[in-house]
A and B are shown apart, each in its own frame.
Chain A
Amino acid sequence: MRIILMLIKKEFLQVFRSPLLMSILIVAPMVQFILFPFTADYEIKVLDIAFIDNDNSTLSRQLIEEFSSSTHFRSKGMIDSKSYADQLMKADKIDFLVEIPLNFEKNVMGQQGTTIAITANAINTVKAGIGCGYVQTVIGDYLKETAENSGMSAFSDNAQLFTTNIYWYNEQMNYKNLIVPGILVILVTLIGAYVTALNLVREKEIGTIEQINVTPIRKWQFLLGKMIPFWILGMAEFIMGLFLMKLIFSITVQGSIPVLLTITAIYLFVMLGLGFFISAVAENQLQAMFIVFFLFIVFVLLSGLFTPTEGMPEWAKFINYLNPMSFYMDVIKKMVLKGCEFSDVKIQTITLSVMAVILNTAAILSYKESSK
Chain B
Amino acid sequence: MKELRMILYKELIHIVRDKITLFLVLAIPIMLVLLFGFTISTEIRNAKVAVLDQSKDSQSVALIDKISSSGYFQVVAYPETESEIDRDFKEMDIKLAIIIPSEFEHSLEKEKIATLQIINDVSDLNVASVLNNYLQAITHDFITEYNHKGSESGTVEMVTNMRYNPEMNSVYMFVPGIITLIMIIVTALMSSITLAREKETGTMNMLLITPVKKVYVIIGKVIPYMCLSLISTAMIILISVFVFKMPVNGSIWLLLLLCIIFMFTAASFGMMISAISKTQIDAMMVTMMGLFLPTVLLSGFLFPLDNMPMFFQVLADVFPAKWFIIAIKDVMIKGSGFFDIWKYLGILILMAIVLITISLTNVDKRK
Contacts and interface: CB of A to CB of B under 8 A. Distances in A.
B136 to A, nearest CB: 7
A154 B164 CA distance: 38
Interface string B197-211: 100000000000000
Contact of B24 (A126, A287, A298, A330): A287
Contacts of A316: 35, 38-39
B58 interface: no
B228 to A, nearest CB: 13
Nearest to A110: B154
B51 to A, nearest CB: 13
Contact of B123 (A41, A285, A289, A333): A333
B123 A163 contact: no
B155 A113 contact: yes
Contacts of B127: 308, 310
A24 interface: yes
B329 A123 contact: yes
A77 interface: no
Contacts of B155: 113
Interface in A184-201: 198
B165 interface: yes
A358 to B, nearest CB: 22
A333 B122 CA distance: 11
B162 interface: yes
A337 B307 contact: no
B259 to A, nearest CB: 19
Interface in B304-325: 304, 306-309, 312
B57 interface: no
B224 to A, nearest CB: 14
Contact of B119 (A39, A166, A333): A166
B280 A285 contact: yes
Interface stretch (A168-176, A227-235, A236-244, A269-277): A168-176
B298 interface: yes
Contacts of B147: 158-159
B242 to A, nearest CB: 19
Interface band, chain A? 35 or more
B162 A122 contact: yes
A43 interface: yes
A164 to B, nearest CB: 6
Contacts of A319: 39
Interface string A262-301: 0000000000000000000011111101110110011001
A142 B306 CA distance: 28
B41 A36 contact: no
Contact of A42 (B136, B162, B280, B303): B303
A166 B340 CA distance: 46
B353 interface: no
A38 B314 CA distance: 13
A336 to B, nearest CB: 9
A114 B157 contact: yes
A250 interface: no
Contact of A123 (B120, B124, B297, B333): B333
A312 B333 CA distance: 24
A130 interface: yes
B55 interface: no
Interface stretch (B106-114, B231-239, B265-273): B106-114
A332 B48 CA distance: 20
Contacts of A171: 122
A6 interface: no
Contacts of B280: 285-286
Nearest to B181: A297
B163 A161 contact: no
B45 interface: yes
A294 B28 contact: yes
A161 B36 contact: no
Contacts of B126: 42-44, 126, 130, 308
Contacts of A301: 35-36, 39-40
Given A90-B336, A298-B35, A313-B38, 10 more contacts: A42-B126, A90-B334, A132-B133, A133-B130, A136-B133, A137-B136, A159-B113, A164-B115, A175-B125, A319-B39
23 contacts: A24-B285, A115-B157, A116-B156, A117-B161, A119-B163, A126-B126, A128-B165, A130-B126, A158-B149, A159-B146, A161-B115, A161-B139, A162-B116, A169-B123, A287-B21, A289-B193, A298-B35, A308-B44, A308-B124, A310-B47, A316-B38, A338-B89, A338-B123
Interface of B: 20-21, 24-25, 28, 31-32, 35-36, 38-47, 86, 89-91, 93, 95, 108-109, 112-130, 132-133, 135-136, 139-140, 142-143, 146-147, 149, 152-166, 168-170, 172-173, 185, 190, 193-194, 197, 279-282, 284-285, 289, 293, 297-298, 302-304, 306-309, 312, 326, 329-330, 333-334, 336, 340
Interface of A: 20, 24, 28, 31, 35-36, 38-46, 89-90, 92, 108, 111-130, 132-133, 135-137, 139-140, 143, 154, 156-171, 173, 175, 177-178, 198, 202, 282-287, 289-291, 293-294, 297-298, 301-302, 304, 306-308, 310-313, 316, 319, 330, 333-334, 337-341, 344
